[in-house]
Structures are given as C-alpha cells and as structure tokens.
Structure 1
Amino acid sequence: MAGAPCLVVLGGLPATGKSTVAAELACRTGFTYLRIDSIEQAVIRSTALRQPLGPVGYIVGYDLAADQLRHGVSVIADCVNPLGITREAWRTVAVRHGARVLEVEVVCSSPEEHRRRAETRTVDVVGLEPPGWQSILDHEYEPWTRDRVVVDTARQSAAESAETLYAMVCGPQPED
C-alpha cells in the first residue's frame, strides 16, 4: 500500500464478531493484527497480575501499534474500545505517526443472535474465559460521540464486513 499507513480500530461489545471481522480483514490486507485479548492473556500468564488488568492491555497495544505505524506498517486493532478515552488514545497514536485512522464499531443488531453467539462461542486465546450474556449486557460501554463506520454482523457476514472495510482502506478488492 502506497502512502501513509493506516490504523483500523475495531471496537464493540464482546460476541459481536469483532475478532472474526478483524482476522478476515488482516488476511485480506496483510496489516499487522493486534488483539487486546491476546495481549491481556499473555500479561496474565507471564506475571502475577490477575483480572482486572485495567488499562495494561490497551497501553501495550497502543505502543505496539505505534511501533508498526512508525515503520510504515498498517495495523488492525481488535478491542472492545468501550470508552471515549480509549477511542481518543487510538486516534492519538495514529495522528502522532502520520497514519490514517478508520474507527469501526462492530455491532450485532439482533439481541437473539448476539446472545446465541455469546453462549455458544469458543475462543482461540489461551486462558481467556469469555464473558457470559449478563456480563456483556452489564459491560461499561459509552456511546460514541464522533463519526465512525458501523458494521452490523447480524446483517452481513464477516467476509462481507471485511470486504467493505477493505474497500475503505485499500480501494476496491480485485476480482479473483
């Protein structure tokens, strides 16, 4: 990709499909993929720290993204990104390193489908215990106060969502 690197930040409540969309997008783009769940679980496995970690995973994620962007490598960040302060921090990382930023909120507009996913999903991060449905409903999640791309995984597949995002960061995907 010519030009400035891009930071794509996918946020949204657990079990909306963020990681599935992010992984699909990473495969299509070749961008570095940073998953905050993986960072947090690595910290837990390697230290005496236990849940809740507070901002540790995000701070490590910001620094890893900054390292990549500084070297012209685009990044996909996969995280809940529940607060205005975390959203602003990702944007600041991009701006400081001359990167474009695409903020994406991944939602699942069907409560029934969202609950089904929460109750039946398996996780591929060692040690991660996914939150239950009630925990997801109770999760602190501030409303967005600025424009972002909203991807609704109840209305389109992960592949379709990734294709939409790919077109936004790279232009139309070539036909096979």
Structure 2
Amino acid sequence: MPTLIALAGLPGTGKTSIAQALTRRMGAVLLRIDAIDAAIWQVDPAREGQGESYLIAGAIAVSNLGLGLSVISDCVNPWPVTRDVFLTAAAQAGARHLGVELICSDPVEHRRRVQSRISDLPGFRVPSWPEVLARDYLPWCDADLQIDTARTSISDAVTRIAQALG
C-alpha cells in the first residue's frame, strides 16, 4: 500500500539526508519543500514564508499516491496545520500515513550542522543558527516515530522508518 511519510523537524536535524536515503531505498517520490520554495521565491521573492509550498506538495502527493507510489515529504512541517496537509493528502489518496519527527538533542552538533550548511538549490537561502532558534516550531507529540539524529546515523534512521512501515 502506498504510504506518505511526512518528516518534520527544525533545519539541521537531518531531514533532507534521511529523506534522500529513504527515497533511494524505497524508490519513493521525494517532495522537498525547500525546492518548491526556491522556485516560488525566484518568481516572487516577496512570497517567502507564505506557505503555498505545503499546499503544492500536498497536491503532488495525492497525485503520486494515487498512482500507487509512496511519497516522502521533506520539510520543517512546524505546526499541526502543516502536518494536516499531509495527513489529508494520504486520506484523499486512500494511502497510509507515517509521521516522523526528527530532533537533534545535542545543541552543539545541531548548531554545527546549521552553520556548515550550503544551499544546493538556486535561489534558496539556508537559515542562520539564530533564525533556527527563533523558528516557530511546535513539537509533534503524536508523531508515529521520533528519531534523535544526534544519537542515530542516517542509515539507522532509514532502517527505523522502514521497520515502522512493517
């Protein structure tokens, strides 16, 4: 059964690295919100932070789930309303939904990751450490799975997610 795996977590927690490795392992469709945002901002820089990218990703998810493909959403996914976009997309397509929150419990490591990031997307600016700390992010208390990337390697995180899928 196709599954929508919705990742969540602050920048620098390893979402993109895990999403890419999981996509390769599963042969799934990757929906990277940063790529959608970068394209929107190239057309209209004033649109930064407006949230259209979540609705676009949800619509693309429904289309791919309907084709029988699993989908992985790679995004901060900071609030219940953004998480509901993916829950609704899975329901609309008759697919499973797995919510995975990634955290980095080691603040020194988290800061190092954020400060060493370089954007691989034209038009996308990675956030600074103060911007990450100031980010409005609500912990996902009822996520199906929570992974601490300060203590879990990318390959082990992918294995845990795959095991949660059954």
- TM norm structure 1: 0.89
Aligned residue number for residue 10 of structure 1:
7
The residue correspondences of 1:67-78 to structure 2 (distance < 5 A) are: 67-78=63-74
Secondary structure of the 2:98 match is strand
Say whether 1:99 aligns with 2:91.
no
Secondary structure of the 1:76 match is strand
Cα separation, 2, equivalents of 1:158 and 1:145: 22
What is the aligned counterpart of 1:117 among 113, 120, 132?
A: 113
Query: Offset at 1:53?
Result: 3.9
Secondary structure of the 1:112 match is helix
Q: Which has the larger radius of gyration?
A: 1
The residue correspondences of 1:114-153 to structure 2 (distance < 5 A) are: 114-153=110-149
Q: How many residues align?
A: 166
What is the aligned counterpart of 2:52 among 38, 49, 56?
A: 56
Q: 1:86/1:43 Cα in 2 relative to 1: closer, same or farther (>3 Å)?
A: same
- TM norm structure 2: 0.95
* Percent identical: 39
Query: Offset at 1:16?
Result: 0.7
Secondary structure of the 1:50 match is helix
Q: Which stretch has the larger CA shift, 137-146 or 70-79?
A: 137-146
Q: Which stretch has the larger CA shift, 142-151 or 107-116?
A: 142-151
Aligned residue number for residue 156 of structure 2:
160
What is the aligned counterpart of 2:86 among 86, 90, 100?
A: 90
What is the aligned counterpart of 1:38 among 35, 39, 47?
A: 35
Query: Offset at 1:48?
Result: 2.8
Cα separation, 1, equivalents of 2:125 and 2:164: 33
Q: Which stretch has the larger CA shift, 132-141 or 115-124?
A: 115-124
RMSD: 1.3
Query: Offset at 1:49?
Result: 4.3
Match for 1:37: what amino acid? D
Aligned residue number for residue 174 of structure 1:
none
Deviation digits for residues 11-62 of structure 1 (CA, Å, limit 9, x no counterpart): 10001110000000001000000100001101222x2343424121111101
The 4+ residue runs of structure 1 with deviation greater than 4 A are none
Structure with more helix by fraction: 2
Match for 1:43: what amino acid? I
